[in-house]
């Protein structure tokens, strides 16, 4: 009986041709795995010694055919890049896409015909072809794992029996078909938000329905709401959330006061932008008997009023952040809370979560205390008023402001000495009329009063993070917490940046992290006021990793802090609310909470922060184009801020508005793109347009629909 079974197994063993197909299939489906003949034999359920030897022969054959490569002796890996990967779709303006994946180093090109209805941002499964061309890997979408979005914004074109939404988003290559009965009374040419309801297999266009009629093109409110909707950000609160907010009382009970440290008789004030309506933070100051200073950083106690798992809490988590557009703030919390109940308005008792420091005359922190307090702010300063008092050395609370400024500057100097990097970008602001039309552009000033507030907020954030980290010193007792993390810069990007700035006569040291930070700071000081300032600053920022939220602390490279969090803005940031809740939980002796749950909320908060920043930039761009509509035909001095194969980006010096000179407009020669040197070079004249060059341009067109400025070069 046994002998018969062995003969049957022998007949079922694959021959060499079958083995080639089986082994090729295993490597194709595992494009990044290293495998040897033993592992393959195990997967193929082969124990026969002669067939194992045949596997070795097949491995060497596939290596000779350049399907595999032998990474280590006896260890093979797919060379052709064929196989399946998961990744995100990065759509191009032509309708094709690149798939960005952690499974493979290079991006995978997918033609429009092979996208199989995948859209920008979707998570997809892609089959990668064996590399046919040396310059890129190609593939096709085989499955859409997760849709990035289903709602799109655009202009609706209505015909007699149906309509189409023409999306605003350049990365959405399909118009959306809307049946007549799903139009919600929209007029031809109006803007709307449309949800894709279905996309039949044989249909060229997705089928959608209108979920919100925004209104007429060009109306300021319509355009700002369209920007918010484009980035999937809310532009109004659900009525049930507003009702819940109205029911919250600002009354403070005697029992609540008794359970808190009372700072109502200590000199306290807020310092905020002139147009601020919500005040997250206040500073208190008094001199102690030993000559040191007690400085309190008092933060609005939002979580006292917003119940865990309440409807307001869930809405705050979903939004994750307030959004700051050119003409408005879209708050994370309903205005009843953000501008009234939680806001640290002057001359009103307010509940806070505070970090109180004892600091000596050399800005050394001797002691700190963290806990819940009650305050009564004596004065509301805007930054300009506080700056004037610091400059003139006189005015209300002048002694307090002057001393706080001295300590803040010492803290700041110490921070930079420890390796912090100083990125202070020029921010623009618009002078708007009552209809939101821009009348002029100015630049926001960042003076000593801004730095004063910034340094004490940084100190509070660092202290809270260090306090929690100190409570869980061993892995066994580690406390799950929300950190604000910032990774070290990418070495490849740093090397490219160092190479680029050589042309301007600058250099940076990149041997170690501290040298990188100090030399970048020196570089930023050296370029200040120079024509190449904006270009160098922009590229320096691009070399840096993006800061984000995580329960996995790696420190904050840009601030040179080993532990850092966001504790100081719970009115406008959900991570700060998480921090407040966790902080009180641990102060009360609570055990570590679910790491997985909080990491998921951190990832969501980081994503929403990114969307909010993109929406803010889009609103700025819209207003820049709107402002320059009345300046078409005028000439300006500019700096080449970007170079691509399709043209030059130029930023106008006097107003920071950026537009493009298309390569088609450079008609004095045929220009080719020198990627390594950020240049366009004339083939015959050798004329060179290089990033950082000063040029003179004329505004040819200001297209508000596309948020696009077109320039031409002039002498």
Look at residue 364 in the predicted model and tell me its pLDDT. 97
Average pLDDT, whole number, for the chain?
90
Residue stretches of the chain with pLDDT short of 70: 1-12, 31-32, 80-82, 130-135, 471-477
Using an 8 Å Cβ cutoff, are 567 and 583 in contact? Answer: yes
Look at residue 197 in the predicted model and tell me its pLDDT. 94
Look at residue 428 in the predicted model and tell me its pLDDT. 87
Look at residue 202 in the predicted model and tell me its pLDDT. 87
Using an 8 Å Cβ cutoff, are 267 and 285 in contact? Answer: yes
Look at residue 5 in the predicted model and tell me its pLDDT. 40
Q: What is the DSSP letter of 551?
A: S
CA distance 428 to 445: 9
| Helix-strand-coil split of the chain, %, nearest 5 | 35, 30, 35
Structure tokens at 558: 């840009």
Alpha-carbon distance values, 183 to 137, 143, 225, 288, 551 (Å): 43, 31, 19, 69, 45
Look at residue 370 in the predicted model and tell me its pLDDT. 98
CA distance 85 to 181: 41
Burial zone of 456 (CB within 10 Å; 0-12 exposed, 13-18 middle, 19+ buried): buried
Look at residue 374 in the predicted model and tell me its pLDDT. 98
677-682-688 Cα angle (round to 5): 45
Look at residue 476 in the predicted model and tell me its pLDDT. 56
Taken in order 136, 140, 143, 147, is the CA torsion positive or negative? positive
Q: Which of 100, 35, 108, 119 is nearest to 70 (CA)?
A: 35
Q: Locate tokens 């004892």: which residue?
A: 358
Q: What is the DSSP letter of 163?
A: E
> Domains of the chain by range and CATH?
2-78 (1.10.10), 83-146 (2.40.50.140), 151-217 (2.40.50.700), 240-478+571-605 (no CATH), 632-713 (2.40.50.140)
Burial zone of 228 (CB within 10 Å; 0-12 exposed, 13-18 middle, 19+ buried): buried
Look at residue 390 in the predicted model and tell me its pLDDT. 97
Look at residue 475 in the predicted model and tell me its pLDDT. 54
Using an 8 Å Cβ cutoff, are 254 and 318 in contact? Answer: no
């Amino acid at each position: 009986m046994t002998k018969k079974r062995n003969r049957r197994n022998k007949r079922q063993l694959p021959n060499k041709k079958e083995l080639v197909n089986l082994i090729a299939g295993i490597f194709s489906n595992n494009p990044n795995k290293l495998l040897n003949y033993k592992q393959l034999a195990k997967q193929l359920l082969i124990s026969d010694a002669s067939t194992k030897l045949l596997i070795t022969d097949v491995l060497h054959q596939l290596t000779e055919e350049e399907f595999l490569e032998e990474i280590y002796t006896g260890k093979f890996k797919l060379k052709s890049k064929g196989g399946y990967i998961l990744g995100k779709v990065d759509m191009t303006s032509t309708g094709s896409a690149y798939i960005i994946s952690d499974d493979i180093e290079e991006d995978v090109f997918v033609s429009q015909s092979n996208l199989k209805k995948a859209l920008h941002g979707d998570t997809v499964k892609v089959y990668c072809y064996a590399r046919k061309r040396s310059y890129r890997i190609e593939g096709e979408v085989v499955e859409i794992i997760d849709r990035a979005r289903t709602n799109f914004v655009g202009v609706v074109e209505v015909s007699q029996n149906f309509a189409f939404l023409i999306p605003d988003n350049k990365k959405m290559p399909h118009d959306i078909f809307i049946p007549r009965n799903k139009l919600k009374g929209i007029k031809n040419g109006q803007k709307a938000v449309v949800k894709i309801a279905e996309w039949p297999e044989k249909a060229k266009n997705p089928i959608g329905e209108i979920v919100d009629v925004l209104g007429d093109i060009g109306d300021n409110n319509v355009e700002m709401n369209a920007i918010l909707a484009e980035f999937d950000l809310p532009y109004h609160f659900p009525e049930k959330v507003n009702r819940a907010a109205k029911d919250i009382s600002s009354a403070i009970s005697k029992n609540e006061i008794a359970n808190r440290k009372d700072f109502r008789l200590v000199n306290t004030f807020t310092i905020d932008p002139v147009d601020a309506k919500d005040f997250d933070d206040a500073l208190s100051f008094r001199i102690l008997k030993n000559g040191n200073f007690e400085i309190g950083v008092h933060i609005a106690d939002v979580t006292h009023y917003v119940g865990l798992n309440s409807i307001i809490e869930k809405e705050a988590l979903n939004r994750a952040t307030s959004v700051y557009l050119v003409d408005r703030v879209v708050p994370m919390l309903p205005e009843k809370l953000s501008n009234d109940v939680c806001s640290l308005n002057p001359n009103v008792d307010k509940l806070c979560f505070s970090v109180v420091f004892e600091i000596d005359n050399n800005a050394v922190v001797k002691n700190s205390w963290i806990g819940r307090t009650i305050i009564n702010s004596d004065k509301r300063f805007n930054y300009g008023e506080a700056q004037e008092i610091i400059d003139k050395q006189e005015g209300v609370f002048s002694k307090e402001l002057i001393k706080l400024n001295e300590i803040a500057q010492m803290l700041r100097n110490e921070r930079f000495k420890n390796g912090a990097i100083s990125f202070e970008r020029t921010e623009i602001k618009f002078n708007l009329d009552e209809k939101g039309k821009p009348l002029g552009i100015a630049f926001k000033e960042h003076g000593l009063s801004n730095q004063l507030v910034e340094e004490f907020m940084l100190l509070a954030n660092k202290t809270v993070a260090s306090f929690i980290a100190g409570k869980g010193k061993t892995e066994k007792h580690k406390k799950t917490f929300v950190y604000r993390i910032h990774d070290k810069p990418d070495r490849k990007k740093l090397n490219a940046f160092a190479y680029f700035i050589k042309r301007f006569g600058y250099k940076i040291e990149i041997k170690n992290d501290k040298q990188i930070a100090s030399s970048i700071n020196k570089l930023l000081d050296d370029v200040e006021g120079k024509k190449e300032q904006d270009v160098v600053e922009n590229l320096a920022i691009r070399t840096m990793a993006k800061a984000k939220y995580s329960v996995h602390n790696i420190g904050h490279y840009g601030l040179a802090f080993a532990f850092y969090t966001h504790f100081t803005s719970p009115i406008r940031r959900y991570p700060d609310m998480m921090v407040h809740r966790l902080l009180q939980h641990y102060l009360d002796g609570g055990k570590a909470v679910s790491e997985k749950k909080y990491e998921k909320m951190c990832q969501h908060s980081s994503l929403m922060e990114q969307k909010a920043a993109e929406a803010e930039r889009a609103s700025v761009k819209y207003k820049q184009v709107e402002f320059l509509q009345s300046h078409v035909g005028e000439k300006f001095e500019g700096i080449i801020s970007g170079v691509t194969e399709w043209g030059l980006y130029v930023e106008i010096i006097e107003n920071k508005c950026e537009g493009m000179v298309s390569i088609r407009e450079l008609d004095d020669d045929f220009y080719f793109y020198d990627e390594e040197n950020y240049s366009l070079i004339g083939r015959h004249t050798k004329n060179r347009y290089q990033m950082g060059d000063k040029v003179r341009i004329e505004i040819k067109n200001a297209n508000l629909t596309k948020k696009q400025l077109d320039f031409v070069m002039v002498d």
